[in-house]
Copies of this chain bind each other. A is one copy, B any other.
Amino acid sequence: MPDQASPIRPKLVTACVVLIGDEVLSGRTRDANLGYISKHLNQIGVQVREARVIPDIEEVIVATINEVRATYDYVFTTGGIGPTHDDITADAMAKAFGVAIGHHPEAIAILEAHYKETGGEFTDARKRMARIPDTASLIANPLSKAPGFQIGNVFVMAGVPMVMQVMLDSLTGRLEGGATMQSRTVSAQIGEGTIAEQLGALQLRYPDIGIGSYPYYRGKVFGTSLVLRGVDEGMLDKATAEALVLLKGFGVEPIAGEAV
């Protein structure tokens, strides 16, 4: 990617992920969506800079969405778009954007065809899944059909990971990405306290590369993984080479990647 080495600083496109649901907050469910969304978006040049986990409470959803959609280029939400009474995300989005909400004809048609095919009854509760705020456009769900939607810079997706993932796939063409964050990891069996001073000096020499230091424990073996991140691959490789030299200077044999 020759662009990345150019002296023009590539544009950073930012995002916030909002996980809507009591089940993650209470510890019943361990979130599996944030990491997936972050990695997926980075591949298309969108950087997740914040995530929030909030309960299924309308005023909290409205206030959170209105705060983060003004701060970040994009907002991605998961959860709360099913057929039951606790699925209040669509109504909350309409309120956040100050628009009306009703049954979206295309969403109704998709669900009607789906229930005709599967033999399920298209109940009023299931019609709830076709409630879409005015001005929103649908996000396709090839897996279980009930669509997500985009309103302004906010993308509203399902909470079930498999469904969220196909929705995210169907979004790709709609997102305008900027720079892609590249990363390199090196690990060694050494305490981070030992290397901290030299590592701080390395960070100062590479202000455009973020250097994270993460201690690890594998039974009785401990060590440190260094994660270097940046949009300029040439500079990233240079900084990584220096990190390897730094570690070797302490008499340990670093490996590329995570500790195994």
Q: Which residues of A contact B (CB under 8 A)?
A: 21-32, 34-39, 42, 48-56, 60, 82-87, 120-121, 123-126, 128-129, 160, 162, 181, 183, 191-197, 199-200, 203, 210-215, 217, 227, 229
> Are B48 and A203 touching (Cβ within 8 A)?
no
Enumerate chain B residues within 8 angstroms of A48, measured Cβ to Cβ. Answer: 25-27
A123 touches B197 (CB 8 A): yes
**Residues in B neighbouring A37, C-beta threshold 8 A:** 27
Distance A158 CA – B205 CA, assembled complex (angstroms): 27
**Structural contact, A193 and B83, CB atoms closer than 8 A:** yes
User: Are A30 and B35 in contact (CB-based, < 8 A)?
Assistant: yes
**Among A26, A30, A37, A229: residue with most chain B CB under 10 A:** A26
A-B contact pairs, 22 of them (CB 8 A): A22-B210, A23-B214, A24-B35, A25-B34, A26-B38, A26-B39, A26-B183, A27-B34, A52-B53, A82-B193, A82-B215, A83-B196, A85-B196, A85-B200, A85-B203, A86-B212, A87-B213, A123-B197, A124-B197, A125-B200, A126-B193, A128-B196
